Structure 1
Amino acid sequence: MLIASMFTFAACGGSDNGDGGNGDAETIKIGAFGPLSGEVAAYGTAMTDSAKLAVEEINAAGGIDGKQIELFVYDTKADKAEAVNIYNRLRDQDEVVAIIGGTISGETLAVKELAIADNMPMLTPTATSADVTIGAPSIFRACFLDPYQGSAAAAFSVETLGAETVAVLYNSDDAYSEGIAEAYKAAVEAEGLEVVYYDAYTSEVRDFNTYLTQIQSAAPDIIFLPDYYNRIGLIATQMKDLGMEQIAVGVDGWDSVEIDYAEQVEGFFFVNHFAKDDPDPIVQNFIAAFQDAFDREPNALGALGYDAAYILAEAIKNAGSTDAQAIIDALADIEYTGVTGPIRFDDEGDAANKNIAIIKIVDGKHVLEEKISAK
């Protein structure tokens, strides 16, 4: 199946995603997609593996009203065009009744208009861009939004770390990075802090010394770096090489940075969807099951993928049908407590009142520094 996803799939016309051809089927077909290869493969792999784990558990417990879930998983390679091809395949050839995905915001936004036009029930576990659900009645989101985590990171910088001046360095080629940077800047300025440096690089940049030297001269208390783990590892390495002593604060895209850059990010903080050392039995049971199945630790995107699969299955069960609108209506009414906390959707389809975990990296491990309960 993953090999098949390497090829380009052509769209083959529409599908009503209703009971026609599915209501009497022996299985309930659900799709999932994300980057399983490339620079951010840790995200898509964690999300889809966790969705597989949840589906296996649901099927072992009897499935949905006696029907087994059949999960179709494909690799987008973090490419928007590939995401569109995969969406078309899931709809036209696999004839899924709903989709878990996308994993990152870019690929999710790439298929947004298709999902709206098809009235396809789509639950993204992890796409944090605010634009994902705007004007999209069939699309739901299990994670918190970019502005929300930007504001939470700002509050932590001010209230817990006691910062008075901050620097912000972000990726101008990525809406995720840029959006969180803007939210963070607005939030700290509202608190009266001085932003002594605010600049952007492009995705092609690998040498950050020019930016970091300027930040070093500005001497901020905190450096805010909203980007994905692979690039954060490079930046953190070059910070250490320059002898910079500032604390860096980041976002959920940092999850997994400690795998290859533990020493460089030691003592840094980032916003996340859950904490691996949270003693809640729901969290620890998920971690144990994931480790048993895949012989590695899950990350936050895995936790969200696991929750999303259970939420979607519960919605289909509550709908009593594989009709698209029935599933959408059931998702709108869902109330679920999972690994990442309580989840219910607001009128826009976003997870309302999500908890936020502030993680500190200590000896290459995630340590829960603080849990922010949504107001």
Structure 2
Amino acid sequence: GSYGSGVSIAAGPIYEEARIPAVAPSATNPQVTAGNEYYFRVCFLDPFQGEVMANYAFEDGLTKAAVITQLGDDYSSGLGNFFLKAYQELGGEIVSEEQFQTGDTDFKAILANVKNANPDVIFAPSSVTTAPLLIKQARELGIEAKIMAGDTWENQTIIDNAGADAEGVALSTFFDENDTSSPLAGDFVKGFKEFLNGNSEYLTKNGGDGVAAVSALGYDAYNVVIEAIKAAQATDGESVKKALKGLNVDGVTGSISFDENGDAKKDMAYIKIIQDGQFKFDRTVKTQ
């Protein structure tokens, strides 16, 4: 499967028609697996991620929020709406809802609206290309509200391009390389860093030897498929699909099994904050 929700949703009917199972590492929109018995995922979903970030903001006393999303982008609009709903259910006030078009680079008009609404927090799930532009332009306009987003913002290029303006940005993600509670995760981090440091091209593309959550999820997705093939003792799509449905394996991002929709049964997210030019672990959040 793909890493992104939009392309995963688009590809879903093709996999289904061909009867080929797919396992998405980090596609979080519910529509990816909905009604498609051939699509699985190893990450948590946007309704959970939106709830996590809404609780994070509200518990920190941020009671007025602005939400900025990208028109036509399944991930951005979906996660933005899940945050909005959860935040309002907690008693938070949405003081501004803004949207932008794909390819936009000047966000000062919508950010002016946000500034006039005077929010405590801005939730802006978007791409790694858009993120530093939004962050820098918000700070240039004198907006002091906390800026938050989802898992796509755990990318070193955002820090590199936004610079000091990225300080204090918060996001939810699937994995923390400094979590020492899992020996399996520790072995993966050690091996992945050795791999990166042994190849200058990959090290540069990765933005250093940090281990992003999508890397850990990609590793888990690959190994889930391998384990399903072993369990099925076959490589045809129907046999592998059946094996995936009954699979229960330990991954570097936690235990992985699938519900009736093909979604991983995940109940925990990591919150990270950008501090001193790095992603720093803040806390974990679990669902009931």
TM-score of the pair, normalised by structure 2: 0.91
Structure with bigger helix share is 2
Residues 1:201 and 2:114 aligned together: no
For residues 110 and 25 of structure 2, the distance between their equivalents in structure 1, rounded to whole angstroms, comes to 33
CA-to-aligned-CA distance 1:101-131 (integer Å, 9 cap, x gap): 2121122122211111111011111111211
Q: Partner of 1:326 in structure 2?
A: 239
Q: Partner of 1:298 in structure 2?
A: 211
For residues 352 and 136 of structure 1, the distance between their equivalents in structure 2, rounded to whole angstroms, comes to 17
Equivalent residue of 1:304, what SS?
Answer: helix
Shift in Å at residue 294 of structure 1? Answer: 1.9
**One-letter code aligned to 1:136:** N
Q: Partner of 1:274 in structure 2?
A: 175
Contact 2:153 2:171 survives alignment (8 Å): yes
CA RMSD of aligned residues (A): 1.4
CA-to-aligned-CA distance 1:306-332 (integer Å, 9 cap, x gap): 011111111111111113222111111
Shift in Å at residue 262 of structure 1? Answer: 4.1
Shift in Å at residue 211 of structure 1? Answer: 1.3
Contact 2:57 2:121 survives alignment (8 Å): yes
Q: Partner of 2:36 in structure 1?
A: 136
**Higher mean Cα deviation, 257-266 or 174-183?**
257-266
For residues 279 and 263 of structure 1, the distance between their equivalents in structure 2, rounded to whole angstroms, comes to 29
**One-letter code aligned to 1:237:** K
Q: Partner of 2:109 in structure 1?
A: 210
Equivalent residue of 2:129, what SS?
Answer: helix
Q: Partner of 2:73 in structure 1?
A: 174
For residues 162 and 189 of structure 2, the distance between their equivalents in structure 1, rounded to whole angstroms, comes to 22
Q: Partner of 2:27 in structure 1?
A: 127
Contact 1:276 1:367 survives alignment (8 Å): no
Q: Partner of 1:313 in structure 2?
A: 226
Shift in Å at residue 300 of structure 1? Answer: 1.2
Aligned residues: 274
Which protein is bigger by CA-based radius of gyration? 1
Contact 2:43 2:266 survives alignment (8 Å): no
Contact 2:154 2:279 survives alignment (8 Å): no
Identity %: 31
For residues 173 and 317 of structure 1, the distance between their equivalents in structure 2, rounded to whole angstroms, comes to 39
For residues 285 and 218 of structure 2, the distance between their equivalents in structure 1, rounded to whole angstroms, comes to 21
Q: Partner of 2:265 in structure 1?
A: 352
**One-letter code aligned to 2:266:** N
CA-to-aligned-CA distance 1:131-171 (integer Å, 9 cap, x gap): 11111111111111122211111111112x21111111111
Contact 1:266 1:364 survives alignment (8 Å): yes
CA-to-aligned-CA distance 1:326-360 (integer Å, 9 cap, x gap): 21111111112222122210000001133211111
For residues 222 and 163 of structure 1, the distance between their equivalents in structure 2, rounded to whole angstroms, comes to 6
Pick from 271, 283, 289 the counterpart of residue 191 of structure 2.
289
For residues 282 and 170 of structure 1, the distance between their equivalents in structure 2, rounded to whole angstroms, comes to 36
Contact 2:71 2:99 survives alignment (8 Å): yes
Equivalent residue of 2:34, what SS?
Answer: coil
CA-to-aligned-CA distance 1:38-73 (integer Å, 9 cap, x gap): xxxxxxxxxxxxxxxxxxxxxxxxxxxxxxxxxxxx
For residues 270 and 231 of structure 2, the distance between their equivalents in structure 1, rounded to whole angstroms, comes to 30
Equivalent residue of 1:185, what SS?
Answer: helix
For residues 230 and 288 of structure 1, the distance between their equivalents in structure 2, rounded to whole angstroms, comes to 29
Equivalent residue of 2:255, what SS?
Answer: strand
Matches within 5 A, 1:202-241: 202-241=101-140
Equivalent residue of 1:198, what SS?
Answer: strand
Pick from 101, 106, 111 the counterpart of residue 11 of structure 2.
111
For residues 197 and 337 of structure 1, the distance between their equivalents in structure 2, rounded to whole angstroms, comes to 42
Equivalent residue of 1:263, what SS?
Answer: helix
**One-letter code aligned to 2:196:** F
